[in-house]
Amino acid sequence: MLEVRASSDRGHANFGWLLSKHSFSFGNYYDPQQLGFSDLLVINDDQVKQGKGFDTHGHRDMEIFSYVLEGALEHKDSMGTGSVIRPGDVQMMSAGSGIRHSEYNPSREELVHFLQIWIVPNRKGVTPRYQQQHFADAEKRGQLRLIISPEGEVGSLSVYQDVRVYAGLFDGDETQTFTLPDNRYAYVHVARGSIEINGQQLSAGDGARIRQEQHLTLQHGVAAEVLLFDLRPNELALVR
């Protein structure tokens, strides 16, 4: 069963320098029916203006990853990490016992458009860590490429949770059927373009909770970029 939530139903926040769309409850946006899905807690679709960004702030006990769609995002944190994330890059930060960081758009010419995603960890108080990896378009073209997994399998980034995240690019005749393990949920987020999943059409910003489906066929993409989350069968995330 696919339960689709349209892009237009998401929460919105406009701070002038930041335009953010919330797939789940976040900040001043609260919907008791949208409190995450399994261990997936936040998907924020953010656009940050030139030279602007998030000042230094703290996190604890959360797995946070950023997925850049356009532009560049500069990251600095209390571990001494400094990096710039561009399209194709995936950044994973395990906040653990506590970390402070900032994120800025270093460009004076273009917006940065990225997804910020939070996953509830399966352990608390771990030593904070930072990871970053580039996944070329060729690895995602017409297929789902594993980008995050518990053990960092096949060059993916590691996460403190029983979740696997895949990214794919689909256009024209490109198609893939993804098989979920037994007794698993999935969540699909269409980052851009449009695609058909098990006969259901989804467009940019749409999301779908998926239960009681073992095979997911992705096809008829139009410049589609997709994230697929393989999740434990929990109805709500564990932390509020």
Model confidence over 195-229: pLDDT tens digits?
999 999 999 999 999 999 999 999 999 999 999 99
The pLDDT score that the predictor gives to residue 80 is 76
24, 35 contact by CB (below 8 A): yes
206, 7 contact by CB (below 8 A): yes
Which residue segments constitute the domains of the chain, with CATH numbers given? Answer: 2-231 (2.60.120.10)
Nearest to 203 by CA among 187, 219, 189: 189
93, 130 contact by CB (below 8 A): yes
The pLDDT score that the predictor gives to residue 1 is 86
Cα–Cα distance for residue pair 122/155, rounded to 1 Å = 21
How many H-runs (helices) and E-runs (strands) does the chain carry?
1, 20
The pLDDT score that the predictor gives to residue 55 is 81
Cα–Cα distance for residue pair 59/65, rounded to 1 Å = 13
Instruction: Give the CA distances from residue 64 to residues 22, 48, 148, 152, 159, in Å, rounded to whole numbers and listed in that order.
Output: 15, 18, 11, 15, 9
The pLDDT score that the predictor gives to residue 47 is 96
Question: What's the angle, vertex CA 27, arms to CA 45 and CA 101, rounded to 5?
Answer: 70
The pLDDT score that the predictor gives to residue 79 is 79
Nearest to 204 by CA among 10, 38, 49: 10
Residues 77-103 have a mean pLDDT of 88
Per-residue pLDDT tens over the stretch 54-89: 888 888 899 999 999 999 998 888 877 888 999 999
- Band (pLDDT 50/70/90 cuts) for residue 239 is very low
Task: Tell me, rounded to whole angstroms, the distance of Cα 121 from its chain centroid.
Answer: 15
What is this structure's pTM?
A: 0.94
The pLDDT score that the predictor gives to residue 53 is 80
Which ranges in the chain belong to alpha helices (H)? 137-140
The pLDDT score that the predictor gives to residue 237 is 52
159, 133 contact by CB (below 8 A): no
The pLDDT score that the predictor gives to residue 238 is 46
Cα–Cα distance for residue pair 202/1, rounded to 1 Å = 14
Q: 3-class DSSP state for residue 8?
A: helix
Question: Across the chain, what does the average pLDDT equal?
Answer: 93
- Which of 34-43, 58-67, 141-150, 156-165 has the lowest average pLDDT? 58-67
More confident call, 161 vs 234 = 161
Cα–Cα distance for residue pair 162/40, rounded to 1 Å = 11
